[in-house]
Structure 1
Amino acid sequence: MKSILSPVKRRLVRTFSNGSEGVPQWQLDLAEGGDPGYHLPGSAVWAVHGSMSPIVAGIRTLLMQSLHPGALAGVHEHSNFREDPLGRLANTIRWIFTVTYGSTEAAGNASRRVRQLHEAVHGTYSDNSGAERGYSANDPELASWIHLTFTDAFLTAHKLWGGSIPGGPDAYVKEWAQAGSLMGVEDPPLCEEDMHRQLDRWYESGELRGDARVAETVEFIRNPPLNRLLRPGYRVLFAGAVYSLEPRYRQMLGLAVPRLGPVALPVRSATKLVLGVVRLALGRRGPSELAARERLRRLGLPAADER
């Protein structure tokens, strides 16, 4: 089985690491540091981020974030996502895994690095009333939207395709609030109910919208420039991300769960199958988690080997 899946593994590794054949140095560096970090084995964050469901969650996050015209303006006007989408993906993965598995110093440095890059991301956009409004990637309000859509996507995807969560959904939301704080979010939700309440406020505010630029972005997310070996599986995962969205957001994005006439296709089970293949190809534990466990063993924490 390993030999059959080895071409898939190579392509997946290259995709997630922006073309690198081996393990990027930043992942190996997660073995360094003088403290356990913000999250440990057995935490809700390790359970969610160590599963395969984040692959679907990442797609869902991009779809949701595109509904805020300020966030979307920042992406279109200040990033090269079309020319180098895998580079942007790799940078996002680096931040997520460093905050998840790194020491507190590494997590802080990674977050400061992202915020420094965000300093240049500012401009104006027309809101839904036609008024010109300013946006900044480091604005706490916009950072809140980014954090909420991330947390909601990762939690929802894990509920659908992951395993159990130690402490339940509330534990994940509370633990990942630390990441929001590192990125300048002033009031990150501390439980699932609060997260949904904040998302509802955004929806009811009238600030979100689906327009031609959103449709263009959705089409790019639907058909990114992936290696042809990965495209069939990605189509299923994209359908899974659409399936996981609330109907109100699907409508704004102009998306629908795939159907064959009146019959809904088995998207949930198909997504589970593809994620299972990815798990077989990549292995149970990724390099970032293994490096973190190495650091924890060095620090004398038995939990590193118990879970």
Structure 2
Amino acid sequence: MSRPSPSEFLRSRLVGRVRAVFNDVEKGQQPVPPSDDAFFVKDSPIRLVHADAVSMMVGGIRSLLLQMLHPPALQGVLDHSNFREDMHGRLRRTARFIAITTFGHRDEADKIIGRVNRIHAQVGGKLPGGTAYSAQDPRTLAWVHVAEALSFLEAYLHYVNPAMPSADQDEYFRQFAVIARKLGADPVPETKADAEALFNEFRDQLKSSAEARAVADLVLNQRPKGTPPGVQTILGTAAVDLLPSFARPMLGLKQPGLSLLPTKIATHTVGRTLRWAFKQ
């Protein structure tokens, strides 16, 4: 049996490392196999955007930072999540949800959506001022969705395909709306313009807080097990750079300075390397 070439050996090692980041390999969790009977057809906009590991990681960090500015979304995390001890696990579970609902068989997608809906039914409480909150609130779910969708697409446009046609960008929101509605979000945008308009509607409801800043610090500085030290810094810096200008001071963050150019170069390089490794 012949040995693999050095390039194939490197490719295999890279694929294994990335799969370990997104799957709980210690428990035998395997990557989600793409299905011909998924919610979305092959090579459609949502599958193209969600297939790129690096831009999805950058977009995911940006999304989580933004979500923590919404008091009910933040309080749900503070009251019902072990994110302080297992931030990587939380991010990995979110990534797996995205993978199954985007690429998996529609029966598996519906199954995991049902599981998340049952979890949301148990998440509720009161904000510091005494106002009740619930993870099933349609507008809270709408905020979480629009922050995610805009963040994933923004990172994809910035680091993968800046020339993605506007029609494909709108189709991305129409496709992602299928998942958002199954989770109970309302309203749900179906074009990029509608998503940006909805995002702006939420501006007055976003709040800066010590808790939001603490979560941001954890997201940016807690290194997942097995992640090379420089990668977390690169992805975090790229995500902070893509935040809306109003959000950075609310989270106690600054616009990346001299580190930004090498960060962009490194992010592009890592992205190209992983696309080569996965033969995309």
After TM superposition, the score normalised by the length of structure 2 is: 0.88
Partner SS, residue 180 of structure 1: helix
- Tell me which of 96, 118, 121 is aligned to 1:119: 121
Aligned length: 271
CA distance in 1, matches of 2:227, 2:106: 38
How many angstroms apart in 2 are the aligned matches of 1:264 and 1:223?
A: 17
Q: Distance in 2 between matches of 1:212 and 1:224?
A: 18
- 2:61 maps to what in 1? 59
Alpha-carbon deviations, 1:163-183, whole Å to 9, x = none? 354642111111111111111
Q: Is the 8 A contact 1:65 1:72 kept in 2?
A: yes
- Provide the aligned C-alpha RMSD in A: 2.3
Residue aligning to 2:24: 18
Distance 2:105 2:61 in 1: 27
Q: Structure 2 CA distance, aligned partners of 1:234 and 1:279?
A: 19
Distance 2:218 2:194 in 1: 32
Instruction: Point out where structure 2 has 5 or more consecutive residues left out of the alignment.
Output: 1-6
Give distance in 2, aligned partners of 1:147 and 1:247. Answer: 20
Change (3 A) 1:135 1:7: same
- Given that 2:237 and 2:260 are in contact with CA atoms closer than 8 Å, whether structure 1 keeps it comes out as no
Counterpart contact for 2:23–2:30, Cα < 8 Å? no
2: CA distance, partners of 1:81 / 1:173: 28
Structure 1 residues 7 and 264: CA distance shift in structure 2, 3 A: closer
Question: Which stretch of structure 1 is more off in the superposition, 160-169 or 46-55?
Answer: 160-169
Tell me, in whole angstroms, the C-alpha distance in 1 between the residues paired with 2:108 and 2:226.
35
Partner of 2:199: 199
Q: Can you list the C-alpha shifts for 1:63-109, whole angstroms capped at 9, x where unaligned? A: 11111111111111101112222322232122111110123322221
C-alpha contact 1:13 1:20 (8 A) present in aligned 2? no
What amino acid maps onto 1:222 in structure 2? L
Per-residue deviation, 1:271: 1.7
- What is the Cα deviation at residue 51 of structure 1? 1.7
Aligned to 1:49: 50
Tell me, in whole angstroms, the C-alpha distance in 2 between the residues paired with 1:276 and 1:26: 20
Query: Could you tell me how far 1:200 is from its partner in structure 2?
Result: 0.5
In structure 2, C-alpha distance between the alignment counterparts of 1:194 and 1:81, rounded to whole Å: 31
Distance 1:271 1:26, change over 3 A: closer
User: Following the alignment from structure 1 to structure 2, what is the Cα–Cα distance between the partners of residues 46 and 61?
Assistant: 18
- Once the two structures are superposed, residues 169-221 of structure 1 have per-residue CA deviations (whole angstroms, 9 ceiling, x without a partner) of 11111111111111101221010111011110100x2x211111111111101
The alpha-carbon distance between structure 1 residues 10 and 103, as it changes in their structure 2 partners (threshold 3 A), is: closer
Distance 1:109 1:21 in 2: 20
Give how far 1:241 is off: 0.5
Tell me how far apart the structure 1 counterparts of residues 26 and 274 of structure 2 sit (CA, whole Å): 18
Residues of 2 paired with 1:21 and 1:172: CA distance? 33
Question: Which residue in the other structure is 2:183 paired with?
Answer: 183
Aligned-pair CA distance for 1:226: 2.2
Distance 1:188 1:229, change over 3 A: closer
For 1:150 and 1:121, locate their aligned partners in 2 and report how far apart those are by CA, in whole Å: 20
Question: Is the contact made by 2:100 and 2:109 (CA closer than 8 Å) also made in structure 1?
Answer: yes
Is residue 284 from structure 1 mapped to residue 270 from structure 2 by the alignment?
no
How high is the sequence identity, in percent, across the aligned residues?
31
Q: How does 1:249-288 map to 2 (within 5 A)?
A: 249-260=247-258, 265-281=261-277, 283-284=278-279
Quick one: which of 155, 160, 164 aligns to 1:157? 155
Give the alignment's TM-score, normalised by structure 1: 0.80
For residues 229 and 90 of structure 1, what CA distance do their matches in structure 2 show?
13
- 2:94 counterpart residue number: 92
> Partners of 1:174 and 1:6 in 2: how far apart?
35
Aligned to 1:298: none
- Is the contact between residue 240 and residue 268 of structure 1 (CA under 8 Å) also seen in structure 2? yes
Q: CA deviation at 1:27?
A: 2.3
Q: Is the 8 A contact 1:44 1:165 kept in 2?
A: no
Query: Residue 6 and residue 21 in structure 1: after superposition, are their counterparts in 2 closer, same or farther (change >3 A)?
Result: farther
